[in-house]
Amino acid sequence: MEVEVPATTYQPPIHMIIMKWSALVVVLVAIVFQTGILPISSSAKDSDEQSVEFPCRIVNATFTDCSYLRLRSIPEGIPISTETLLLSHNKLHPISSSSLAGLVNLRYLDMSYNTISKLERDYFTDQAQLQHLFLSHNQINKIPPDAFMSVSKLKTLDLSDQNNGIKKALSMPQYLEPLNMTLETLLLEKIGIDSAKIGGTLKIRLKVFSLARNSITKLNQDDFKALSGARLERLDLSRNAILSIDTKVFNTILGIDTLNFTQALSQNPPPGRIENISTAIGTKVKKLILRSLTLQSVTSSMFKGLENSTLEELDLSYNRLTTLTNASFGSYLSHLQILQLHNNLIASISETALTGLTSLKTLALFNNLLTEIDPGSFAHNGHLEDLYLNNNSIKHLSSEGSFRGLISLRTLNLSNNGIIQIFTGEEFQDLHELLSLDISNNFLKSGIITLTGNSFKPLSKLKYLRLKKIHLLDISSPSPFAHLVQLHLLDLSNNNMHGLESDTFVTLKSLETLYLDHNHLNNLWYQPKSKKPVLFLRSLVSLRTLDLSFNGFEAVPTGVFNDLVHLKALHLNNNQLSAVSGQVFENLKELQFLALNKNLINVVNQTLLSPVMKTLNILFICGNPFSCGCEQEWFRDWIDDTKIFLGNLSLCQCESPPEWRHKPLLDFNPEVLNCDGKIPLHYWIIIGVGSLVTLVLIIALISNRWKIYYVYLLVKARHHRSRKDEYDRLNDYRFDAFISHSSADDDWVKNKLLPELENGENPFKVCHHERDFEPGQEIIDNIIDSVDHSRRTICVISKSYMESNWCTYERRVTMNKLFVNYKDVLVLIILEDIPDKKMSKYDLIHRAVKKNTYLKWPGEDGRADEKAVFWQRLKTVLGEDRTPENYEALA
Ligand SMILES: *[C@@H]1O[C@H](CO)[C@@H](O)[C@H](O)[C@H]1NC(C)=O
Ligand SMILES: *[C@@H]1O[C@H](CO)[C@@H](O)[C@H](O)[C@H]1NC(C)=O
Ligand SMILES: *[C@@H]1O[C@H](CO)[C@@H](O)[C@H](O)[C@H]1NC(C)=O
Ligand SMILES: *[C@@H]1O[C@H](CO)[C@@H](O)[C@H](O)[C@H]1NC(C)=O
């Protein structure tokens, strides 16, 4: 036995000693349990006075965030190294000349959303390095000409959204004069101006200029004179109410990448206004945005001015166009590559409407009212690569070739229409280059899409085929996918499909992703005696992701996944699986994700998961009706040990036995059930009782004795305590600490611990059983007495300490209750590393160790300073709430 018994005391029978010592350990453990965390470090927080006064967040040396603080003035104490300073969303008003003094490194200053009403030159005296200044959402109404004199490197200036408006300042913005060489971005949105004219003699080379959300009604010839020679990336005139546009307005500008006229014209603009825009931009613009202008029709004359231009993209979306007629685009846009016509009311496209758009690569016609696509509509658009026809009302594709001539087409989106037909393959003639075809969400009550063996025959390069939700009930032989040997992704989900042949996918050697969820494929795998399962996943050797969820599967036959050697993710959730044999996963050597949640699985055992255990990263298995008995012990323990991420763990609940119904699986502790029966055996081997029969008998005997003995202890302890009131007890400590340890660690206690504590500057009084136990008294009384008369109990934990087999859960619980009164007194010293297996997972010392609420002895060979820290921390803990006067009388 590990535990030493003082020689002077009366010697009780050996098992009584064990019980008593185990009782003590249990006391100590119970105390930890009651108090939770040991107060080991007390000097953690040094109060940082600066952080109390300085309201802002210093993100790092160069970044200070003072936004959203209701500040009325710029706070003092901003680090000089700050390059980015956020002061937005405060109540700054006004700022004073000294507020930014000294901040010479500022590059980026955001003072938007304040109530600043004026600017002065001396505000920014020290900000010679400033590059980006944001002053939007203030009340600036006056900007003196020299306001930005000192910020001579400014690149961005945002003066948008001034409540009071700076319109007067704008017509002669002399304040821009000092910035004319550097400024690149000037934002003057919503400042109430009605003219775009800036600056008399000013010349400024902007890249981004926005006049959006003003009340500009005219664009005159000289308006952008200040921008002569500029090459703009973006000129934004959106959300104005322009009535007339001079055709020479952009004459002085060299080029504009994107010219934005979204909602810029007053309602129902006459064709002449668009004509003038075309003429004005001539050859200068790459992308012209004419969105949301309430245009009802387009005519080729509108684009006459673009005849020799290099316009690449024209955006006519969100208008009210109803038809595209022969005269719509004419021949002036032969250079156009991208045409946005989505979100209009287009119901028909005449045969030659798109004939002139010979360079077109992308045509967006989604969200319109098209019902059919006439054969040859795109016959002249041989360069077209991406065609979006989704979200229309197309009912039928012509077998004479709706897409005839689209020999370069790569993307065709036909989803969200009302297509009803048998696809013979003629519909897709000429689409030899097609990579992606989306026909999803074509589901009408009146009819369905039917696939034949030739449906996709022309599409030999197809990589992505989406056929989701088209009410595709079954797929028969010959397989419509047989020709798609390059296919990477196939989506057949949400079809209520119940028929597949074993060779449906057999040629898809490149397929990486297959969605078959939300179908009725259970009957393919369900095996009444006479029926063989349909192995429809054969040969999919490249498959990486397979979704078979929501199919009603009741069984997964062995061998169905055998060819899927590269499968990474398998979704089998939301089925009716009650038992899955691990054998089915045997060939899935690369599986990383497995979803089995929401099935009918009662027990998860080792054989189910072992084939994929090595590679799995994520497992979803909760939402099954788990039984919480011994049969689940393996899984319950595995949850605690595994490194695999368990998704939705909070949804893991027990379903049976009845008393555990709807309780979290994590609360279930199989150790209580003593499933493997090892603990009593171990106990008896230790105390050396040989025979198996007597073993059983004595267990019964001892366990009854326990109960009696604990009742006795309980009464005794209560009696003992009731003798003293609280005040008495506080003053009645004879010792600072009682030491509980194993005899194997006697040397350490006697040679290190006791001298260190008893001989220091402020010596502690320590109770050590060898010399301090009262002779003649019963040992358990001695222990209770010592613990009672000591302010702290030091528990020296080592391997031999743990090996004393003192606890089954039941006994611990009993003892917990018995010694509830002992709180806050335990100090754990871990003397050496304890292997995990020595600790029970549900054990209280284990919890303390996991929570780091203990002191670790650095070891004999530890560094001197580590040891010093150890002793100092120990003394600090022992010294807490120690009032020396209480001890003087005793000393
Ligand atoms: C400071 O923090 C900002 C914001 O998190 C970050 O963008 C920047 O890179 C950081 N600078 C340094 C020097 O760490
Ligand atoms: C079109 O431009 C011409 C010449 O610049 C001008 O006279 C006319 O008023 C403009 N029309 C519109 C609608 O802007
Ligand atoms: C694991 O579960 C399967 C299916 O429930 C069962 O056939 C098998 O016998 C179990 N294995 C063990 C070791 O319990
Ligand atoms: C389950 O997990 C998924 C993915 O982590 C998450 O999106 C979802 O919200 C979770 N569901 C619940 C009910 O917690």
Same domain, 741 and 660: no
How many domains are there within the chain?
2
Rounded distance from Cα 79 to ligand 1 centre (Å): 14
Residue ranges around ligand 3 (CB below 6 Å) = 579, 605, 607
**pLDDT of 432 higher than 80:** yes
Tell whether ligand 2 has an atom less than 6 A from the beta carbon of residue 279.
no
- For 21-87, the DSSP string reads HHHHHHHHHHHHHHH-S-----------HHHHH--SEEEETTEEE--SS--SSPPS---TT-SEEE-
- Percent of the chain past pLDDT 70, that is, above it, reads 80
| Percentage of the chain modeled with pLDDT above 90 | 47
User: Which has more pLDDT, 842 or 738?
Assistant: 738
Please identify, by atom number, the ligand 3 atom nearest to the C-alpha of residue 602.
5
Helix, strand, coil percentages (3-state) for the chain, rounded to 5, are: 25, 15, 60
Same domain? 660 vs 738: no
Q: Please indicate, yes or no, whether residues 506 and 596 belong to a single structural domain of this protein.
A: yes
* Whether 653 and 789 share a structural domain: no
pLDDT, greater one: 862 or 366: 366
Q: At which of 665, 690, 722 does a domain end? A: 665
Q: Which residues contact 398 (CB under 8 A, 6 or more apart)?
A: 372, 373, 374, 375, 427
**Does 221 contact ligand 2 (Cβ within 6 A)?**
no
Q: What is the pLDDT of residue 445?
A: 76
Q: Which amino acid is it at 416?
A: N
User: Is the distance from the beta carbon of residue 60 to the nearest atom of ligand 1 less than 6 Å?
Assistant: yes
Least confident of 36-45, 173-182, 309-318: 36-45
**What CATH number is attached to the domain comprising 621?**
3.80.10.10
**C-beta 115 within 6 A of ligand 2:** no
- E strands, 122-240, in order: 132-134, 156-158, 185-187, 208-210, 218-219, 231-236
556 class by beta-carbon count within 10 Å (0-12 exposed, 13-18 middle, 19+ buried): buried
518, HSE (Cβ side, Cα atoms, 13 Å): 11
- Rounded Cα gap, residues 164 and 803, in angstroms: 81
- Per-residue pLDDT, 48: 42
Nearest ligand to residue 650 Cα? 4
Average pLDDT over residues 158-186: 83
- Confirm or reject: Cβ of 647 under 6 Å from ligand 4: yes
Distance 664 CA to ligand 4 centre (A): 16
User: Who's near 156: CB < 8 A, 6+ residues apart?
Assistant: 131, 132, 133, 134, 183, 184, 185, 187
pLDDT tens digits, 207-247: 999 999 999 999 999 899 889 889 999 999 999 999 999 99
Helix (H) or strand (E) holding 720: helix 692-722
Say which ligand is closest to the CA of 245: 2
In the listed set 650, 665, 680, which residue is the last one of a domain according to the structure?
665
Q: Find the length of the chain.
A: 891
pLDDT at 341 over 90: yes
* 423 domain-assigned: no
Boundary (domain end) residue, out of 618, 640, 665: 665
For residue 609, is it within any domain?
yes
Q: Whose CA is nearest to atom 3 of ligand 1?
A: 63
Q: Would you state the pLDDT for residue 765?
A: 85
* 9-18, 108-117, 616-625: range with lowest mean pLDDT: 9-18
> What is the rounded distance in angstroms from the CA atom of residue 216 to the CA atom of residue 213?
9
Residue of minimum CA distance from atom 10 in ligand 4? 648
Residue 681 alpha carbon to ligand 3 centre in Å: 27
Contact (Cβ atoms closer than 8 angstroms) between residue 278 and residue 253? no
Burial class (CB in 10 A: 0-12, 13-18, 19+), 755: exposed
**pLDDT, averaged across the chain:** 83
Q: Which residue has the higher pLDDT, 822 or 513?
A: 513
Same domain for 517 and 655, yes or no, is: yes
Dist CA 206 CA 187 (whole Å)? 11
Q: Report the nearest-CA residue for atom 1 of ligand 2.
A: 276
- Confidence check: pLDDT of 456 > 80: yes
Q: Indicate if the pLDDT at residue 23 is higher than 80.
A: no
Residue numbers of the domain that contains 765: 732-890
Same domain flag for 610 and 737: no
pLDDT score, position 545:
97
Q: Which pLDDT band, with edges at 50, 70 and 90, does 292 fall under?
A: very high
**692-729 pLDDT tens trace:** 777 778 777 777 665 666 556 666 656 655 554 444 45
Q: Is 57 in the pocket of ligand 1 (CB under 6 A)?
A: no
Ligand 4 closest atom vs CA 650: 14
Considering the domain architecture, whether residues 745 and 637 belong to the same structural domain is answered as no
Are 643 and 756 members of one domain?
Answer: no
- Identify which has the larger pLDDT, 17 or 189: 189
Q: Nearest to residue 405, comparing CAs of 357, 448, 445, 440? A: 357
The helix/strand/coil state of 483 is coil
Q: Quote the ligand 2 centre to 284 CA distance (angstroms).
A: 19
In a domain, 409, yes or no: no
- 519-575 pLDDT, tens digit each: 999 999 987 777 789 999 999 999 999 999 999 999 999 899 999 999 999 999 999
Task: Say yes or no to pLDDT of 351 above 90.
Answer: no
Report pLDDT digits (tens) over 736-747.
Answer: 888 877 778 888
Q: Is the peptide bond before 94 cis (omega within 30 degrees of 0)?
A: yes
H helix or E strand, kind and range, residue 705: helix 692-722
Residue 413 tokens, joined: 């989106």
CB 259 within 8 A of CB 286: no
pLDDT in tens, 48-70: 444 457 899 999 999 999 999 99
Q: Name the pTM for this structure.
A: 0.70
Instruction: Read off the tokens for 556.
Output: 């997964």
Q: Tell me, what's the pLDDT at 685?
A: 66
- Cα dihedral sign, 101-102-105-110: negative
648, 650, 651, 653: residue to mutate for ligand 4 pocket, most atoms within 8 A of CB? 648
| Ligand 1 centroid distance, CA of 835 (Å) | 43
The amino acid at residue 861 is: D
**Other residues' Cβ atoms within 10 Å of the Cβ of residue 836:** 10
- Dump pLDDT digits (tens) for 434-450: 999 999 999 877 778 89
Task: Specify the pLDDT at position 339.
Answer: 97
Ligand nearest to the CA of 266: 2
Residue 713 lies in a domain: no
Contacts of 700 (CB under 8 A, 6+ apart): none
Q: Whose atoms come closest to the Cα of 82: which ligand?
A: 1
Q: Taking a C-beta distance cutoff of 8 angstroms, is the pair 570, 595 a contact?
A: yes
Report whether pLDDT(408) > 60: yes
- Pocket probe mutation, ligand 3, options 600, 607, 610, 627, max atoms within 8 Å of Cβ: 607
Q: Which has more confidence, 319 or 879?
A: 319
State whether the beta carbon of 81 lies less than 6 angstroms from ligand 1: no
HSE of 421 in the Cβ direction (CA atoms, 13 Å)? 17
Same domain assignment for residues 538 and 637 = yes
The residue nearest atom 8 of ligand 4, judged by CA position, is: 648
Q: Are residues 737 and 860 in the same domain?
A: yes
β-partners of residue 235 are 209, 259
For residue 726, being part of any structural domain is answered with no
Spacing of C-alpha 686 from chain mean position: 51
Task: Tell me the CA–centroid distance for residue 57 and ligand 1, in Å.
Answer: 13
Ligand 3: nearest atom to the Cα of 580: 4
Look at residue 21 and tell me whether its pLDDT is greater than 80.
no
pLDDT(760) > 80: no
CATH number at residue 781: 3.40.50.10140
**Does the pLDDT value for residue 357 go beyond 90?**
yes
CA dist 799 and 354 (Å) reads 85
393 phi and psi angles, rounded to 5 deg:
-125, 35
pLDDT at position 687 is 63
Q: Is 623 in the pocket of ligand 4 (CB under 6 A)?
A: no
Of residues 276 and 888, which shows the higher confidence score? 276
Mutate to test the pocket of ligand 1, among 62, 82, 107, 132 (most ligand atoms within 8 A of CB): 62
Q: Are residues 635 and 546 in the same domain?
A: yes
Q: Cα(585)–Cα(49) distance, rounded to whole angstroms?
A: 61
Say whether both 656 and 758 belong to one domain: no
Give residue-wise pLDDT tens across range 92-150. 887 676 788 889 999 999 999 999 988 888 889 899 999 999 999 999 888 888 889 99
Using the atom order of ligand 1, give the atom closest to the CA of residue 59. 2
H helices of 566-632, in order, are: 606-609
Say if CB 169 and CB 191 are below 8 A apart.
Answer: no
Quick check: is 490 in a domain? no
Which residue's alpha carbon is at the smallest distance from atom 6 of ligand 2?
246
DSSP 749: I
Tell me the mean pLDDT in the region 369-393. Answer: 94
**828 pLDDT tier (thresholds 50, 70, 90):** confident
In a domain, 479, yes or no: no
Q: Is the pLDDT of residue 866 over 70?
A: yes
**Angle between helix 14-35 and helix 779-788 axes, rounded to 10 deg:** 20
Shortest-distance Cα residue to atom 12 of ligand 4 = 648
Q: Which residue has its alpha carbon closest to ligand 3 atom 7?
A: 581
Give dist(CA 22, CA 17) in Å, integer. Answer: 8
Give the Å distance between the CA of 651 and the centre of ligand 4. 9
**What pLDDT was estimated at residue 436?**
98
Give one DSSP letter per residue of 401-465, joined into a string: TTTTT-TT--EEE--SS---EEE-SGGGTT-TT--EEE--S--BTTB-EEE-TTTTTT-TT--EE
Nearest C-alpha to atom 10 of ligand 1 is from which residue? 60
Burial annotation 798-821 (CB, 10 A radius, 16+ → b, else e): bbbbbebbbbbbebbebbbebbee
| Mutate which of 217, 221, 240, 244 for ligand 2 pocket (most atoms within 8 A of beta carbon) | 244
Higher-pLDDT residue of 21, 588: 588
220 lines ligand 2 (CB under 6 A): no
